[in-house]
Amino acid sequence: MMPKLPEDLPECMVFLLGKAYQKAHANFKKQLKPYGLTNMQHLVLEGLWYQEGMTAAELGKLLIMDKATVSGILERMVETGWIVKKPDPDDGRIQRLYPSEKAGQLQERLVGERKKANQQILKKFSIEEQLLFKRLLRDLI
Amino acid sequence: MMPKLPEDLPECMVFLLGKAYQKAHANFKKQLKPYGLTNMQHLVLEGLWYQEGMTAAELGKLLIMDKATVSGILERMVETGWIVKKPDPDDGRIQRLYPSEKAGQLQERLVGERKKANQQILKKFSIEEQLLFKRLLRDLI
DNA sequence: GATTTACAGTTCGTATACAAAGGATATAAA
DNA sequence: TTTATATCCTTTGTATACGAACTGTAAATC
């Protein structure tokens, strides 16, 4: 629960959004730990399952991630065998990204974990609140 | 705006919360840049203005920050002259924290920046939506 | 075709985040 | 009072985040 806070700080959206995300992130992180995946790595897999063969730039745009951040995450995911990079035959600048076999075998369970995490957040609210909440958040993105 | 996203990913609260915070954070960051302060450093100052002399542990609890994270932030803020650490006479484990002179002189402007950042987020919504949004976020913390 | 410009990725530096372990000190218990 | 336990804080290691600079390649323009 929220402790006592300075002045109108608890009214500050930057603070509220940060702490709400912090909590949601921490819970999902725990769920993913057994798989040896981080939240962002999981997100990358979801992106590639949606459309494999994307480039790092496309993936970053889709998932709203900085190219430098994407670069690091992809490097670790190649190292740990979650994805594969294949050079594009027509464009020497590009590497196309594919989920690995190992990733594919866990796809259902991993997507299930995300849905579970999502449900654990939403279950606190009524259906109307859930829809409104999502709309409000989307309006900020 | 939000790009096309995999399956029901755009329905996922972890994702929505993360991206909404990312955006809010980025905007506030820009506002604070002229001051040479980061968002979290600003938050620490607000905490100490609310009650100076707090310990790192108390501050962390108040602002919902990990003790290791707090430690690093405080170290940098001492280095850059935003806060001062004073040893507690009764408890050798504790350092009490105070905003510096420099911080005090900028207090009004810095608090103003936060309020401005908050307004820029909230202005997109009706009063009713604003109140509901805050309540929903608080329910997650 | 040579030059400019645009784009893809990487690398570097700095700042969170947080788990885990360690060092110092205070308090409770035996 | 010696031992055990609890706190405070720091340190270490890993993973984001992201601005900025850099390399390499493609596309556009002259």
Domain of A85, CATH number, reads: 1.10.10.10
Residue of B nearest to A52 (CA): B6
| Distance between start and end Cα atoms, chain A | 26
Domain assignment present for residue A41? The answer is yes
Please choose, from the candidates B17, B7, B15, the residue with its C-alpha nearest in 3D space to the C-alpha of residue B140. B17
Structural domain boundaries, residue A81: 37-116
Chain A positions in Cβ-Cβ contact with residue B8 (cut-off 8 Å): 115
Query: Residue A59, CA: closest nucleotide via C1'?
Result: C8
B116-137 tens-digit pLDDT: 999 999 999 999 999 999 999 9
Return residues with beta carbons within 7 A of strand C. Answer: A 18, 22, 25-26, 55-57, 67-68, 70-72, 74-75, 93-95; B 38-41, 65-69, 72-73, 76, 90-93
Residue A5, token pair as written in the block: 């806070």
Cα separation, B70 vs B56, in Å, equals 7
B50:A7 CB<8 A:
yes
Q: Do B125 and A136 touch (CB under 8 A)?
A: yes
Q: Is the pLDDT of residue A13 over 50?
A: yes
Q: Is residue A21 part of a domain?
A: no
Q: Judge whether A129 lies within some domain.
A: no
Q: Is the ipTM of this complex over 0.90?
A: no
The reply to whether A91 falls in a domain is yes
The reply to whether A17 falls in a domain is: no
Q: Which residues of A1-28 are buried (b: 16+ CB within 10 A; e: fewer)?
A: eeeebbeebbebbbbbbbbbbbebbebb
Is A24 among the domain residues?
no
Domain count, chain B: 1
Say if B25 falls within a structural domain.
Answer: no
Identify all chain B residues contacting A43, using CB atoms and an 8 Å cutoff. 9, 15
Q: Which residues contact residue A25 at a Cβ distance below 8 angstroms, ignoring those fewer than 6 apart?
A: A39, B14, B17, B18
In a domain, A29, yes or no: no
Judged against a pLDDT cut of 70, whether residue B50 lies above it is answered with yes
Residue B127, CB-side half-sphere exposure with 13 Å CA sphere: 0
What residues of B are in contact with residue A5 (Cβ under 8 Å)? Answer: 50, 62
Q: Average the pLDDT over each of A60-74, A76-90, B1-15 and give the range with the smallest value.
A: B1-15
